[in-house]
Amino acid sequence: MPRENRKRGKKHKKNGNEGNFGNEAYNVPEEPTVAPEQEAGPSWIVSAPKSSAVDQEAPFGYADSELKAYFRTVDVQIREWQDAHEEVNEGDEDIDPNESESRPSLEPLITLLTSWQDRRMFFVAALEEMSHKEKQLATDPDCSGILERMSYSMDDFVRRVFLDRLSGSLEILAKHRFASHVCQTLFTIAGETIYRESRGIYPPASESGEEGELRTLTQLVLDSCEELLPALSALIMDPFASHVIRAVLVLLAPHLASENDPQQGGKAKSSVRSKKSAAWKARQGPMKSVFSDNNSTQKQGKVATKEFQQAAARFVLALRDQLDENEVRALAANKVASPVLQMLLEIEAAQDMADTSNSLMDRVLVGLITLAHSEPEATPEASDYLATLLRDPTSSHLLETLVSRAPQKVFNIVWSVYFQEKLQKLAAHPVANFVVAQAFGRLSAEQLNEVCVDLEGVFGKIIKASRTGVLRALVDRAAALHAYESRVLDAICTAFELSTPEDKKLLVPCTLRLLPLQEYKTALSRRKDQATENDDEHAKKRGKAKANDDPLEPKTQGAVLLQAMLRMSSPVNEAIVDSIQSLSMDELLGMAHHVTSSRVLDALLESPSVSAKAKRKFILGLIGHFHELVDDRIGSRVGDRCWAFADPYLKEKIARSLISYERFLAGSFFGKYFARNLHLHLLQRNPEEWKNQQAAKSTAELPKAAPDTKAEVAKPPQADEQKKKRKHQGDEIDELFDSTLGKRIKKGALGGEGKAKMESPSVEKLAADKSLKDVMGAIRSAPKEDKPRPKKKRT
């Protein structure tokens, strides 16, 4: 019976060629059995296996049960190391560097450093077991996640070998349910290695050249792109392979990573990894290397070479050739393919390939780019296709990309046909308002004025529907153009029913809660009535769920809108500043202690458009209440920002107002950190020295001046020689402790002879041992003990 028709069983598993499909470069296959009808042809021609004979769940064979059990133990061990490493890093972040000057304990550090060698040996053993079985393990439901975890701890050489072993079968692996995540993780972390390769940092080459020359990871990525390009149209429609394509595109075009990073103000990260996959990965715990102390401090995905740009452009050209216009438009409504199409449109626009006829953007825009080139003054009729994109939850994201990246002429056509005189319905729509907000970012001054006219009677509906993204985009565009800012502010005041100057003093409380004036007053009166009826125990029983239902609870949308309004020019944003200063002290402290509303006060102190006089007046209003302000986790951060902005004269006023509350700050869990910057003891003992210290701190933040060469020439040469001798005489460990912990002995207390007497012979013996240099060199990264600073006696 031919081999391809034989069913899987125990007898078949004993064959040494089992599981080597697609991996012939590493294992010499046995001579296949040829059917009688094929005996006439050459011996190296073998018929492809039938689709029914290939198991879709394990196309490269199943992993042995003993191997899977071994890798489960590997996963457990790596999880323990990563969790321990995470706890150490969290401990370092919580410790204040100025809190303790005591010597750190070396026992946990030495234990950690000695275990690194064991970790490396354990990891090397796991890699040896994984060798030539990467495809089987990647397609295994249990071992695929383990490979993802191990890939973060692989060095550059192992990553190159790993991707080289997967090459040739990437199309099958990308479509696999479990192997696709392995490929996606491998392309995601490849940016670190590629960054080092771009700087000429390569791992040492293998001494044995039996397996041939190993390609660099940069070349492996380029070859992987060439392998995936022929089946691109099918891969972007596959629910598993599309995520692999996204990871490859982010690696080739680094600007996509910054735009999709929410920490950098970009879109959601769902364009790289699905929500379900991201939630699953979050449940797996920390994913990081078990050998490095830094949390991926290398610049990941920041290399944009010409080869990568050309490879990204080939993805765009390949999709143009493989799909026609209708098929490209059909991708917009597909939940799997639409994010890939958005990234390809970003690449096409970034490389100046969109402003041409028959481009991907031209196809999605139903030929508007071709029309703009052929008939610039023509106004086309509205397309039902683009009108549908506005209101579809999936394709609206694609339209946001088109609106933001389309050429200016094309944007003007889209604005006049699909947005102008239709904003009253679109701005309040639950889906279309996001596209409208994106379009506001490209308006001209004339178009901005037209928007204010069109939305004149709809601002109230926008507030009630919580579509504040439209208002925030309008405020940002007015601030960027420095045009019609007062008109936009008046429109917002009208939306909150603030007509008189007295009502405008409540602009911040109303905007922060997204409540019109009358509703805000009604909710305020209800809270006062409930405060008299309900006690604290009943309030605790309500729970956090009902606290979010409180209408007076600050909302994130309102806080973001106020921050945008504070970035407007100085005469306009004075209304927001006056509203903040008109608040009572209890309301201001409650605003500073809330995690959401405190961001408004941060924007007040950090905004360059807010006048220094207004900031100074705000800080002066807090004097006498700083001890209440900093006695909170969030309020202490606001207090630090106030202290950082204050000049030396204002700092003195703040410090003197807190002298009577020194014991209160010392007993406060958060206030004690703020009190350390004040140095109240020095202010009471020597005010002039305190002022000089504060002035020195303010000048230390300025750029350092050039060194004085004349002073260096005036120094006698003997003094330099004596310093050099002292430096060489000093012990290596003493220098390390001095730089880390500071000198414990005052200058001038001991001379050179006294210092030599104080040195312990055991320390010299430790310094001579070269094996401990690595241990002592990592003392800086060791977590310091949380001990109180020893009090110094006055002399």
DSSP structure string for 143-181: HHHHHHHHHTT--HHHHHHHHHHHTT-HHHHHHSTTHHH
Q: Measuring CA to CA, which residue among 314, 141, 335, 324 is closest to residue 238?
A: 335
pLDDT at 209: 52
Same domain for 43 and 151, yes or no, is: no
- The residue type found at 209 is G
Last residue of a domain, one of 651, 671, 697: 697
Say if residue 42 is in the same domain as residue 153. Answer: no
Q: Is residue 598 part of a domain?
A: no
Q: Is residue 287 part of a domain?
A: no
- Domains identified in the chain, total number: 3
pLDDT of residue 120: 83
Using alpha carbons only, give the angle 234, 236, 238 rounded to the nearest 5 degrees: 70
Q: Is 466 helix (H, G, I), strand (E, B) or coil?
A: coil
Q: State how far the Cα of 474 lies from the Cα of 436, in Å rounded to an integer.
A: 10
Q: Which two tokens stand for residue 451?
A: 């928007």
Spans of the chain below 50 pLDDT: 1-41, 44, 48-53, 91-106, 109-110, 259-270, 294-301, 535-547, 703-730, 732-733, 736-737, 739-795
**Per the domain annotation, does 1 fall within a domain?**
yes
Q: Looking at residue 694, what is its pLDDT?
A: 85
| Domain membership flag for residue 231 | yes
Tokens of 694: 């504060």
First to last CA, the chain: 99
Q: What contacts 310, CB < 8 A, 6 or more positions away?
A: none
Res 320: pLDDT: 95
Single pTM value for the model: 0.74
**Residue 237 resides in a domain:** yes
Residue 85: its pLDDT value, please? 59
DSSP state of 31: P
Is 542 within the bounds of a domain?
no
Q: Which residue, of 664, 697, 730, is where some domain finishes?
A: 697
Cα separation, 395 vs 398, in Å, equals: 5
Note whether residue 688 is domain-resident. yes
Closest to 403 (Cα-Cα) out of 445, 373, 439 = 439
Can you read off the two tokens belonging to residue 744? 């414990």
Helices 612-622 and 648-657 pack at an angle, to 10 degrees, of 10
So what's the pLDDT on residue 446?
93
The pLDDT of residue 45: 52
pLDDT of res. 435: 95
The pLDDT score that the predictor gives to residue 577 is 94
- Looking at the structure, tell me whether residues 156 and 304 fall in a common domain: yes
Residue 753 to residue 769: CA distance in whole angstroms: 25
Residue 335, in any domain of the structure = no
Query: What was the pLDDT predicted at 700?
Result: 61
Could you give the C-alpha distances from 419 to 376, 467, 476, in angstroms and in order? Answer: 19, 17, 19
Domain hosting residue 662, numbered range: 623-697
Residue ending a domain, among 697, 728, 758, is 697
Separation in Å, CA 223 to CA 167, 226, 308: 8, 5, 11
Q: CB pairs under 8 A, 24+ apart, for 385-394?
A: 385/329, 386/414, 386/418, 387/418, 389/332, 390/418, 390/426, 390/429, 390/431, 390/432, 390/435, 391/429, 391/431, 391/432, 392/333, 392/431, 393/431, 394/332, 394/333, 394/334, 394/335, 394/338
- Give the separation between CA 117 and CA 292, rounded to whole angstroms: 13
